[in-house]
Amino acid sequence: MVIVYFILILTGVIMVHELGHYLFARLFKVKVLEFAIGFGPKIFSVKGRETTFRLNVFPIGGYVRMLGEEGEEIADEEEKEKSFYAKPAWQRFLITLAGPLFSILAGYLLFLPITLNWGIALPGIDEVVPGSPAEEAELRRGDVVYSINGKIAFDTSIISNEIQKGLPVELVIIRNGEKKSLRLIPRMYPETYEFVLESAEGTPSGKLVSVNGNRDTSVLKEFVNEYVVLEFEGGTVKGILKQFNEIPARYMIGISFSGLAPVFKKDIYFKEGLFVFKKGDRIVRVEDQEIEGWQDLVVLYQRLTLGKDAMMVSLQGNDLEWWRGLSGSVRVVIKRGDSTIEKNVEASFLKNILETPDLLEMGVPRYKPKNPLEAVNLSVKACNYVLLTTASSLKNFFRNVQTGQIVGVVGLAGVISAASKTGLEAVLTVVAVITISLGVLNLLPLPALDGGRIIFSLVEMITRKRLNPQVENIIHFLGFIFLMILFLYITFLDIGRMMGI
């Protein structure tokens, strides 16, 4: 079924894009020979009055083939007038621009019914650190961050980037359906050490005093995959340092963001119709760990991943938090109505539950504007954010800064698969993001892409000199080869991410 979703979505997105080219070509009386979805051998075709509409085997793109577009000679004068290169540069510019423009506009139009029907996802607050600026401003668990310094908080990174400046911030939060403005001053927090010990012995307590006898505790990072002896004020811990992560000192306001709630969205069966958890059950404890929100679930998942003989430790200044891994049978305490129920389940089964999409409720509800005008405004701003984020990701990709934000066909199939398990809203959101991203991608000034053709048209409009169409098509052909190599590279990255490489 995922393959069907994938093909339908990709076909629809490509069709909208190519429709832009087709309609503007017809508007300027350019003869369209083919309107194709996909590349490769033909699956089927329909012959129109002038245009052959065809569906090809590989749904990784599409094209509108116009008369004379490949620079071929046309003997018939009447036909020549209908060719692509017979038209002035400004018309060719608009025909080429129409594809990306239709893609981007389709995304904007699709976001509006999503916002009107389901609302928009905004970051919620999961934990408030005692004594932090957030606690002093009376932020609470369950508050939703609407904006920071006038910027709508479509993503947690928007909030983090503003806080990292270290300047006072103006937050607008939503609490019980009402907006409330707060002013906070970020505070500098010390660096954080997060590490995992295997074959761990001992119990840490208090401040870290020494590492293998060295009182300069920053040398801990040098002992990855080695046996270490860690002296704390209240005890000694020994083990093999398997993972180490250092987070530098940074400005914070003392909040963690919400994700999923420890409340089951549907019944969970173990086997043969046997209920383990029922819809509405809330996890309140697993072994020695209290479970209140998303951050607790994150820690729980890490413990289930580590196994019994491992220990995970987080040190921030004098603040210490540590947990042992979990394996085998674990005791889970749930709240069902007014009753408290204890169950023993396998750690692997509980880990699988946390990995499965759409089994747990969201930590905070989506924000659904009461005013239609606000919904339109939010929808447009959400699309603007997607557009700018896509452009930034592409820039970073070509600078080789971040490749994790770019996905190809294989990665796209994974995204659609995850969305299809969540619901219609998630699928439509993915479609909107894909079509906007396709529009932005095609505006890149690379030969064979619409952006490359737009550049040629602009140069001709400015210089009033036309490049030989055959030379231009050779350049586009070389660009196509480059894009195919790039496509294979991104596919390799997708497969590597799937395999955890």
Are 50 and 106 in the same domain? Answer: yes
Are 48 and 142 in the same domain? Answer: no
Per-residue pLDDT at 7: 76
pLDDT-wise least confident of 214-228, 413-427, 454-468: 413-427
Mean pLDDT of 22-37: 94
Other beta carbons within 10 Å of 466: 15
Confidence of residue 273 (pLDDT cuts 50, 70, 90): low
- 457/455 Cα distance (integer angstroms): 5
**Is 254 inside any structural domain?**
no
Are 136 and 38 in the same domain? Answer: no
pLDDT-wise least confident of 145-149, 153-157, 255-259, 469-473: 469-473
Last residue of a domain, one of 362, 384, 413: 362
Last residue of a domain, one of 188, 209, 237: 188
Tokens 């699928």 sit on residue: 427
Are 240 and 266 in the same domain? Answer: no
The CATH number that applies at residue 139 is 2.30.42.10
**Is 9 inside any structural domain?**
yes
Mean pLDDT of 337-366: 91
**Is 62 inside any structural domain?**
yes
The CATH number that applies at residue 291 is 2.30.42
Residues of the domain holding 159: 125-188
Alpha-carbon distance values, 124 to 50, 144, 156, 258, 371 (Å): 55, 4, 9, 5, 21
Rg (CA), the chain: 28
Are 86 and 112 in the same domain? Answer: yes
Residue tagged active-site, from 18, 162, 231, 472: 18
Residue 369 is classified by DSSP as -
Are 272 and 230 in the same domain? Answer: no
Confidence of residue 496 (pLDDT cuts 50, 70, 90): low
**Is 280 inside any structural domain?**
yes
Strands (E), 80-152: 125-128, 144-148, 151-152
Confidence of residue 492 (pLDDT cuts 50, 70, 90): low
Beta-bridge partner residues of 147 = 152, 172
**Is 385 inside any structural domain?**
no
125-128 vs 255-257, strand pairing mode: antiparallel
Other beta carbons within 10 Å of 397: 17
Are 51 and 63 in the same domain? Answer: yes
SS3 of 132, please? coil
- From first CA to last CA, the distance across the chain in angstroms is 27
Confidence of residue 458 (pLDDT cuts 50, 70, 90): very high
Are 105 and 27 in the same domain? Answer: yes
Indicate the number of domains in the chain. Answer: 4
Are 70 and 108 in the same domain? Answer: yes
Are 87 and 17 in the same domain? Answer: yes
Last residue of a domain, one of 342, 362, 382: 362
Residue 336 pLDDT greater than 80, yes or no: yes
Alpha-carbon distance values, 353 to 136, 244, 289, 331, 451 (Å): 36, 27, 17, 15, 45
Are 242 and 303 in the same domain? Answer: no
Are the C-beta atoms of 228 and 211 separated by less than 8 Å? yes
- 324/309 Cα distance (integer angstroms): 7
Of residues 69 and 360, which shows the higher confidence score?
360
Mean pLDDT of 207-236: 93
**Is 230 inside any structural domain?**
yes
Closest CA to 25 of 61, 62, 64: 64
Residue 218 is classified by DSSP as G
Residue-averaged pLDDT of the chain: 88
192-201 vs 235-247, strand pairing mode: antiparallel
SS3 of 471, please? helix
Are 84 and 96 in the same domain? Answer: yes
**Is 413 inside any structural domain?**
no
The predicted-structure confidence for 92-117, as pLDDT tens digits, reads as follows: 999 999 999 999 999 999 999 999 99
What token pair was written down for 56?
């090809």
**Is 390 inside any structural domain?**
no
Q: Is 272 a catalytic residue?
A: no
